[in-house]
């Protein structure tokens, strides 16, 4: 592994990074989002994107890469055009609580934004309208990921729980104390395994307990959801702040607060 480049354009902490096929987006406590071209990582002419009134916590691309969503302490999730850098829509979170995380569904039909007051909002992305709201608990919701089928999503909170929801915002399953001291990130792998009528997915989660956990999430619309812990990886020496699967689902990387990252090999373990 070798260093490709170092980007030093933000003036404060970088809170999130996101890739599309031809763009890299970074967002920061300095209230801005910066957009770079791949592969030379030159900053685009319309960057930085300014529109948030406070720090930007998270950003994510739509599947086609044409849009970027960013969310902020100012209580909004902004949709940006990646053709022009124009602000398309500002989605105000119910109650205007600081929005900590946002995530697109795999087909970009839906967008979830989740906030510090324990609430989340499910948006119809095509119409830019609010579809449903839900309440996790009084803790901040800081992690969210859609399953690869796009029919369920998972939230993680600073209480340490992981909860599985369907698109009607019915809670299908809850894992209490999944991570002691709080969840920091969760991410589905993009693969789907089928066992009869059931669909099975891999989910990675990490937390303040210095652990990376791999879960099996099984879902059937007519029967509900099952969650099984496959692996609990405790090789990290500090709180694990982020995790992500490789494109083929065979590896997962975890990053933690001592500025290091760890790459793990993973595999399906059938229940």
Question: What pLDDT digit, counting tens, does each position of 139-160 carry?
Answer: 999 999 999 999 999 999 999 9
Evaluate whether 124 touches 168 at the Cβ level (below 8 Å): no
- Structure tokens belonging to residue 189: 């792998």
CB atoms within 10 A of CB 18: 17
Evaluate whether 240 touches 206 at the Cβ level (below 8 Å): yes
Q: With respect to residue 52, please indicate whether it lies within any of the assigned structural domains.
A: yes
- Structure tokens belonging to residue 215: 């879960």
- Whether residue 183 is predicted with pLDDT greater than 70 in this model: the reply is yes
Residue 259: pLDDT band (50, 70, 90) is: very low
Q: pLDDT > 70: what percent of the chain?
A: 93
Q: With respect to residue 39, please indicate whether it lies within any of the assigned structural domains.
A: yes
Residue 1: pLDDT band (50, 70, 90) is: low
Residue 271: pLDDT band (50, 70, 90) is: very low
Evaluate whether 76 touches 52 at the Cβ level (below 8 Å): yes
Q: Which DSSP string corresponds to 30-81? A: TSEEEEEETTT-PBPTTPSEE--SS-EEEEEE-TTSSEEEEEETTSEEEEEE
Looking at residue 237, its pLDDT comes to 75
Per residue in 61-91, pLDDT tens?
999 999 999 999 999 999 999 999 999 999 9
CATH code, 21: 2.130.10.10
Per residue in 14-68, pLDDT tens?
999 999 999 999 999 999 999 999 989 999 999 999 999 999 999 999 999 999 9
Q: With respect to residue 154, please indicate whether it lies within any of the assigned structural domains.
A: no
Q: pTM of this prediction?
A: 0.92
Q: With respect to residue 123, please indicate whether it lies within any of the assigned structural domains.
A: yes
What whole-number distance in Å separates Cα of residue 270 and Cα of residue 256? 29
- Whether residue 261 is predicted with pLDDT greater than 80 in this model: the reply is no
The number of domains in the chain is: 1
Q: With respect to residue 24, please indicate whether it lies within any of the assigned structural domains.
A: yes
Evaluate whether 62 touches 102 at the Cβ level (below 8 Å): no
Q: With respect to residue 95, please indicate whether it lies within any of the assigned structural domains.
A: yes
Q: With respect to residue 261, please indicate whether it lies within any of the assigned structural domains.
A: no
Residue 254: pLDDT band (50, 70, 90) is: confident
What whole-number distance in Å separates Cα of residue 81 and Cα of residue 179? 36
For residue 107, the enclosing domain spans 1-135
- Whether residue 265 is predicted with pLDDT greater than 70 in this model: the reply is no
- Structure tokens belonging to residue 155: 């939230």
Q: With respect to residue 32, please indicate whether it lies within any of the assigned structural domains.
A: yes
């Amino acid at each position: 592994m070798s260093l490709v480049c170092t980007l030093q354009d933000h003036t404060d902490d970088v809170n999130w990074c996101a890739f599309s096929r031809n763009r890299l987006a970074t967002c920061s406590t300095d209230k801005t989002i910066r957009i770079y071209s791949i592969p030379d990582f030159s900053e685009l002419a319309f960057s930085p994107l300014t529109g948030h009134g406070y720090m930007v916590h998270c950003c994510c691309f739509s599947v086609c890469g044409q849009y970027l969503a960013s969310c902020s302490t100012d209580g909004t999730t902004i949709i940006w055009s990646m053709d022009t850098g124009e602000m398309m829509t500002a989605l105000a979170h119910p109650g205007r609580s600081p929005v900590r995380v946002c995530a697109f569904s795999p087909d970009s039909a839906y967008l979830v934004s989740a906030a510090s007051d324990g609430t989340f909002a499910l948006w119809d992305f095509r119409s830019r309208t609010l579809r449903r709201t839900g309440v996790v608990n009084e803790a901040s919701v800081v992690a969210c990921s859609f399953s690869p089928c796009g029919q369920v999503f998972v939230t993680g909170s600073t209480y340490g729980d992981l909860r599985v929801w369907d698109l009607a915002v019915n809670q299908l399953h809850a894992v209490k104390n999944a991570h002691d001291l709080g969840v920091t990130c969760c991410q589905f792998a993009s693969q789907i395994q089928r066992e009869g009528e059931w669909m099975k997915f891999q989910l990675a989660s990490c937390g303040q307990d210095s652990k990376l956990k791999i879960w099996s999430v099984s879902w059937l619309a007519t029967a509900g959801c099952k969650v099984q812990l496959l692996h609990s990886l405790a090789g990290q020496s500090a709180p694990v702040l982020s995790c992500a699967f490789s494109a083929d689902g065979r590896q997962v990387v975890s990053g933690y607060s001592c500025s290091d990252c760890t790459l793990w090999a993973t595999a399906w373990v059938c229940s």
